[in-house]
Amino acid sequence: MKLTDEEKKMLDGLYGEPMAKALDYLRQFGEAFDAEKFIDVIYAHYPAEMSIYFGMVEDLVEYSETGAKVRIPTTTSTLACDLDQWESYGCPKGLAELQAQAVTAHRRLGILGTYTCTPQLLGFIPPKDSYIISVESSAIIYFNSVLGARTNRGGVFTRYSAVTGKYPLMGYLLDENRLGTHLFKITLSPDDLKFDSDYSALGFHIGAIVGSEVPVLDNIGCPDQSNLLALGASLATSGSVTLFHAPPHTAEAETVEEAFQDSKPKEEINVTTRDLRNAYDSLTNIQKGDRIDFVTLGCPHYNLEKLKYVADWITEHDATIHPDVRFWICTNRMTKNAASWEGITAIIENAGGTVICDTCPVESHMRISTCNEFGLKTPQIEAMVTDSAKMARYVGDLIGCKTALSNSDHCLRCAVAGKLV
């Protein structure tokens, strides 16, 4: 790789050993993928090391003691527990105490403790065409697609980019890798695309077809921010989609033609109401009338308006959550603080729900592997209803529960009834 004079000084240790080692790791990484040079990144979304993974927190703590510091604004992804209320929902003490060590380590490194999969909802909105580095598949695809910032799937190298402010110029940072590959013609009625769960089902269907390539979605209605979050998260779940175009709602193409530029789509695929229904059905193995014991909303993490919607629904219906149902709404602690100030949190909790911060069921102690480690019963959840295809897919695989994908209103009705209504 061609290095600038500053990069040579970094590699030679003039800015300290931690930065030299970090740049060397990135150099080796870049050379393995034939990158010609480094670029400057302006923001990092960092993989908050979770205590459900063996050795991850210990590695973070050790690294934080090297004197390394981040050079760019750096936020953190989710943890393995809500650090404020872990005990109340059955998280093992050892898991929570180990996880708490990550907070001190992050502060030592200069990393912000946002602990969310949706940092863009907290104001971290990199400009179009800026270079960043991110983890968390739903954040990555949103940054690339909706905002038009440029990031690869960061993984462990996010740490080294945050410390150096550098990343190899390769992958989705290059123009040629951001062109559309497949065209999906959406032939759905407005009634088919009303809820986040509808966009989630749409993404789940398309992601399974396109895999790791770049879908172009024509005619996805009039989505709001929450719809686009749900769409991207599920595209990255059934497939490994890192970038999609949905003209004119995404950043890089006003038209379908612009999304492909001079290339032609590998395939043109029609998406029908039946495809959407099949996506719902593929993530639902609970029958009508069956008992449920868990309802979760907030995958990706909810914003303040979504929390208010739930509180308003509870108030309008004078609703109380069924005593046999755990009802979680996942968000970040900053949004929960705002919701508490507005009186929203109290409405939800007085009805029997819980506003969970920092984490979600997928990343929690309820995983089968973690239950086995701590001697907890499995599965922790028998039957979950959710409005997120991502949540349904992963809890089915990792927690071992039955699932039903439905819209948010229906999820709330199920939480009150204690069964799939």
Tell me: the pLDDT tens digits for 174-200? 999 999 999 999 999 889 999 999 999
Structural contact between residues 299 and 388, judged by C-beta atoms closer than 8 angstroms: yes
Mean pLDDT within 6-13: 97
Output the pLDDT for position 48.
87
Same structural domain for residues 376 and 250?
Answer: no
The answer as to whether 275 is a domain residue is yes
Give the model confidence (pLDDT) of 222-267 as tens digits. Answer: 999 999 999 999 999 999 999 999 999 999 999 999 999 989 999 9
Same structural domain for residues 166 and 198?
Answer: no
Structural contact between residues 42 and 126, judged by C-beta atoms closer than 8 angstroms: yes
Same structural domain for residues 37 and 67?
Answer: yes
> What string of DSSP letters covers 73-107?
-EEE---SS-TTTTGGGT--HHHHHHHHHHHHHHH
Output the pLDDT for position 233.
98
Provide the angle, in degrees to the nearest 10, between the axes of the packed helices 389-398 and 196-210.
70
How many domains does the chain fold into?
Answer: 3
Q: Compute how many other C-beta atoms are within 10 angstroms of the C-beta atom of residue 288.
A: 8
Domain end residue (candidates: 251, 282, 313): 282
Same structural domain for residues 204 and 156?
Answer: no
Domain end residue (candidates: 139, 173, 207): 173
What is the residue-averaged pLDDT of the chain?
97
Structural contact between residues 402 and 285, judged by C-beta atoms closer than 8 angstroms: yes
Give the model confidence (pLDDT) of 98-142 as tens digits. Answer: 999 999 999 999 999 999 999 999 999 999 999 999 999 999 999
The answer as to whether 229 is a domain residue is yes
Mean pLDDT within 23-42: 98
Pull the structure tokens for residue 277.
């229904």
Mean pLDDT within 191-219: 97
Output the pLDDT for position 329.
98
The answer as to whether 391 is a domain residue is yes
Domain carrying residue 304 = 294-417
Give the model confidence (pLDDT) of 263-278 as tens digits. Answer: 999 999 999 999 999 9
Same structural domain for residues 275 and 317?
Answer: no
Same structural domain for residues 124 and 191?
Answer: no
Structural contact between residues 396 and 403, judged by C-beta atoms closer than 8 angstroms: yes
Give the model confidence (pLDDT) of 321-333 as tens digits. Answer: 999 999 999 999 9
Same structural domain for residues 276 and 327?
Answer: no
Structural contact between residues 279 and 389, judged by C-beta atoms closer than 8 angstroms: yes
Output the pLDDT for position 228.
98
Decide if pLDDT at 361 tops 90.
yes
Centroid of chain to Cα 32: 28
Structural contact between residues 142 and 13, judged by C-beta atoms closer than 8 angstroms: no
Same structural domain for residues 57 and 150?
Answer: yes
The answer as to whether 37 is a domain residue is yes
Residue 304 belongs to domain with CATH number: 3.30.499.10
Decide if pLDDT at 376 tops 90.
yes
Q: Compute how many other C-beta atoms are within 10 angstroms of the C-beta atom of residue 78.
A: 25
The answer as to whether 12 is a domain residue is yes
Output the pLDDT for position 262.
86
Q: List residues bridging with 327 in a β-sheet.
A: 295
The answer as to whether 368 is a domain residue is yes
Mean pLDDT within 43-67: 96
Give the model confidence (pLDDT) of 154-179 as tens digits. Answer: 999 999 999 999 999 999 999 999 99
Structural contact between residues 385 and 285, judged by C-beta atoms closer than 8 angstroms: no
Of all residues in the chain, what percent carry a pLDDT higher than 70? 100
Output the pLDDT for position 214.
98
Domain end residue (candidates: 145, 173, 201): 173
Same structural domain for residues 342 and 211?
Answer: no
Same structural domain for residues 169 and 49?
Answer: yes
The answer as to whether 289 is a domain residue is no
Pull the structure tokens for residue 392.
């349904």
The answer as to whether 288 is a domain residue is no
Provide the angle, in degrees to the nearest 10, between the axes of the packed helices 93-109 and 56-64.
30
Decide if pLDDT at 317 tops 90.
yes
Same structural domain for residues 216 and 318?
Answer: no
Same structural domain for residues 189 and 230?
Answer: yes
